[in-house]
A and B are shown apart, each in its own frame.
Chain A
Amino acid sequence: MDSGNEDALDIIITNVVATFRTRCHLNLRTIALEGVNVIYKPEVGKVLMKLRKPKITASIWSSGKIICTGATSEDESKVGARRLARTLQKLGFRVRFSDYKVVNVLAVCSMPFAIRLIDFTKKNRPIASYEPELHPAATYRIKQIKATVQVFSTGSITVTGPNVQNVATAVEQVYPLLFECQKPLRK
């Protein structure tokens, strides 16, 4: 039953965050003045550069560390990162593309049923926690695969994890628990 329903559930990846290093010092002012889509934040000490084609935003620090966010798949993220490094190369810095690592993946998934959050929290203590004063969703943290699942009462869930495989595993793990606490539809 579960695997059958898994096929029907689409897990949509909405954000992939990756970091890499250029192994050289970058002059933020140069980048800010010669780049097209850049925002310079001198107080924080970084430059935000936005690319159009893989739609990503990159935070560039002067140490050469770059964080790349907004991609919708791991491959896209890599392409974007490399494109960004190429841009920096063209600006005149001796850029080397190293230590590329996907740090975080955010995915959303929608269950075909509503969920009773209080029941869900009670059954899964202490892994699950629910504070309606702070956030409308119940948070379920899976330690082994280091993934966090946020469960909303409408049945949509958001999953964050270090890579796409973990995210898929997390959904598989959490699905039966959610199925138990579902709320049967009336209308």
Chain B
Amino acid sequence: MSPRVCKTCGCAEIDLDQARGNAVCTSCGSVLEDNIIVSEVQFVEGSGGVTSAVGQFVSADGPEKAPLLGSGFHTSIGKESRAQTLQNGKRQIHQLGSQLQLNQHCLDTAFNFFKMVVSKQLTRGRKMAHVIAACLYMVCRTEGTPHMLLDLSDLLQVNVYILGKTFLLLSRELYINAPAIDPCLYIPRFAHMLEFGDKTHQVSMTALRLLQRMKRDWMHTGRRPSGLCGAALLVAARMHDFRRTVKEVIGVVKVCQATLRKRLTEFEDTPTSHLTIDEFMRVDLEQECDPPSFIASQHKTKIQQLEHELTKKLNEVEGEISGYRDEIETELENCRPKLRGMYAAFTKHTDDKEREGKLPLTFDPPEGEDLEMQAAQQFTRDFLCQVLEEEEENPGSGQPGGQPGGRPSSQSLSSILGLGRPTQDPPEEPEDGSESGELDLEGIDDQEIEKYILNEREVETKTELWMKQNEDYLKEQKVKEDRITKEKEQGTYKVKCVKKSKKRAPIRASTAGEAIEKMLEQKRISTKINYEVLRDLNQGGSGPSSPVPTPPESSSSSGATGRPRAPRRKKPNRKANSLAATASIMGKRLRPLVSSIPKKKRNASQVSSSTPPGPATPPQLATPEREATPPPEAPPPGEAVEEEEAEPCVSVLQLMKGNEYGCDTEEEEEFF
């Protein structure tokens, strides 16, 4: 509150100097107020010339009590879990988002989504990484950036369907309606990656037109947009005389060859494919096509219809033939006295055939044995099928000689089926018996169930086989049991805890450097980290080393038994981060750090170390030389392993390297 009137001279002009905290009268010069409480930010220079603000961050929804610790970098203690989670999430969002080259606005929106998710408690039971990825993808979809879920899964090395599941669930819970993916969004990105040089824009335009044509021809519903983009770009490239092979395109678009070929053939089937290049650019065909899968199923139904009609016709023809046959027979009877000589032999012949036809078919069913009846039925069915097939092969053969074989078969078929059905019906008549737990045996054929159980000899054989097959498993089980019995004798038997989280012994160390070393040993992260560098880092008070000494300091001070797992897990991440930042271990220098870090940490360090190669600041160039010395320690097998690991990393980098999406590159924001 600044005084209005000077007390000595009565002048109302009082100069309030914020910097010095004085209120001075301008006329008489008397100091009216001294040491005014000012609210300004002060800066302090840390090691390496990095300036940082003095003070600590207090969140609006934090605890009511003020943080007791005076220094500025104890940001993770003294806050409640919710604030920690949010902070953690924010950091991860920025990390991941910077790799995707999302601008600040997108990252903020993603963080807002994350806050909503946390307030609805949807993070429970889900990996933080999945939730973060889902939030980022939601932002990508709502903003319409050309990022695919595949990119996110590449970065995190997580199955894309798992991420998709999380994304769908979260977007449903938050009622966020993401607009449908338009394949046209991806064209500029893929076109740039395919390196068309000056003609990139033209090729993109052509590809867009092709895509729109594909949309109208119903090729795009239910398909991955990247596959369509690939096909459109391939055709567009060829149209502009660029020889892009299928392999190059699929490397960029991330679909397989088969998919691309299929899309191309589908496009070939549309009438548009028959136009020349000029015609295509000028004219737009009005006619729309049906979706390809629809056409395929229609094709099937057509074939079925044809078959149906064919059998119908066969039956008709049969009917006609039988009609003729009846007529002939009546005629024969009428003419029999005359033509007995000739036709007698003929009729006898047909009669014999009929009898022969009927006998084998009706012979078996009267036999009562279950098995044999079934076998016989099967046999007769096969026989009948054969006969019917033969008939179909000779459609419309109007020979009465050929047909008599067919008719008795159809007769006896029905008789067989008629016989066969009664035995099958009782087992299929269920009656809902009592629910009291008593097993209602109605309709259950005991005999049949007996078949499901092996007899003794079979049991022995099977036991042998099974034992042989599962030897390894049985050995393991035996070893385990022995161990348990031993421990029981010793009295040290503990029930194996189901919980995965192990409470580690607290690290007791005298200096920060020692603490870091011990922690690294415990976590078994890496023998490749250059401890000297770490120690040097620690000697600086604040700045980039601030995240590093905080955990060991706090661990040494508090004993760390009841500590939540989250901050610990992030330690190597931060460490790798700081190392990455200070050493600019990006791109080419992935291998050394990635070497023997266990999978999780490897992902974390991959994530951190594949931050986009922003402008390398001069002080960071000095340290790569120092970091170059530990890399040679990496053992060859380790390197061989990560070469495969590094490849997907490199491809992601290649994807992300272009700055022309209109998104800004993110500098390291962690160092405040």
Contacts and interface: CB of A to CB of B under 8 A. Distances in A.
A117 interface: yes
Interface string B419-458: 0000000011010110111111101101011111110000
A152 B405 CA distance: 47
Contacts of A82: 430, 433, 439-440, 444
Contacts of B168: 129, 131, 134
B291 interface: yes
Nearest to B428: A79
Contacts of B427: 53, 79
Contacts of A96: 437-439
Interface residues of B, number: 59
B172 A129 contact: yes
Contact of A114 (B220, B291, B433): B291
A152 B443 contact: no
A74 to B, nearest CB: 10
A78 B221 contact: no
Interface in B143-185: 148-150, 160-161, 164, 167-168, 171-172, 175, 177, 180-181
Interface stretch (A8-16, A87-95, A164-172): A87-95
Contacts of B220: 132
A134 B164 contact: yes
Nearest to B217: A186
A85 B439 contact: yes
A37 B290 contact: no
A23 to B, nearest CB: 6
Contact of A133 (B148, B293, B450): B148
A174 interface: no
B357 interface: no
B238 interface: no
Nearest to A91: B453
Interface stretch (B35-43, B256-264, B394-402, B459-467): B459-467
Contacts of B408: none
A1 interface: no
B671 to A, nearest CB: 36
Given A114-B290, A125-B177, A152-B222, A35 B454 contact: yes
Contacts of A114: 218, 290-291, 294
Contact of A83 (B222, B444, B463): B444
Given A40-B466, A97-B440, A187-B290, A117 B221 contact: yes
Given A33-B466, A36-B453, A153 B161 contact: no
Contacts of B149: 133-134
Contact of A35 (B160, B167, B452, B470): B452
Contacts of A185: 290
Given A87-B452, A131-B168, A126 B218 contact: no
A137 interface: yes
B334 interface: no
A5 B439 CA distance: 42
Contacts of A186: 287-290
B407 interface: no
Interface in A1-31: 23
Interface in A52-100: 53, 75-76, 78-79, 82-83, 85-87, 89-91, 95-98, 100
Contacts of B454: 33-36
Contact of B437 (A40, A91, A97, A183): A97
B444 A153 contact: no
Contact of B439 (A97, A134, A154): A97
A33 B456 CA distance: 10
A117 B215 CA distance: 12
Interface string A88-124: 0111000111101000000000000010111001100
Contact of A90 (B290, B297, B450): B450
A140 interface: no
A78 B431 CA distance: 9
B463 A33 contact: yes
A35 B453 CA distance: 5
A133 B181 contact: yes
A126 B168 CA distance: 11
Given A86-B449, A134-B160, A154-B293, A42 B473 contact: yes
A131 B430 CA distance: 43
B291 A154 contact: yes
A66 B459 CA distance: 23
A154 B294 CA distance: 5
A48 B448 CA distance: 19
B435 A87 contact: no
Contacts of A34: 453-454, 459, 462
B224 interface: yes
Contacts of A154: 291, 293-294, 297
Interface string B618-629: 000000000000
**Nearest 7 CB-CB pairs, A to B?**
A136-B222, A96-B437, A153-B221, A134-B164, A98-B437, A97-B439, A79-B430
7 contacts: A34-B459, A86-B444, A97-B438, A133-B226, A153-B218, A153-B222, A183-B291
Interface of B: 148-150, 160-161, 164, 167-168, 171-172, 175, 177, 180-181, 218, 220-226, 287-291, 293-295, 297, 427-428, 430, 432-433, 435-441, 443-444, 446, 448-454, 459, 462-463, 466, 470, 473
Given A95-B439, A96-B439, A116-B221, 17 more contacts: A33-B454, A33-B466, A34-B459, A42-B470, A51-B452, A78-B432, A87-B449, A117-B221, A131-B168, A132-B224, A133-B225, A134-B160, A136-B222, A137-B222, A153-B293, A154-B291, A155-B294
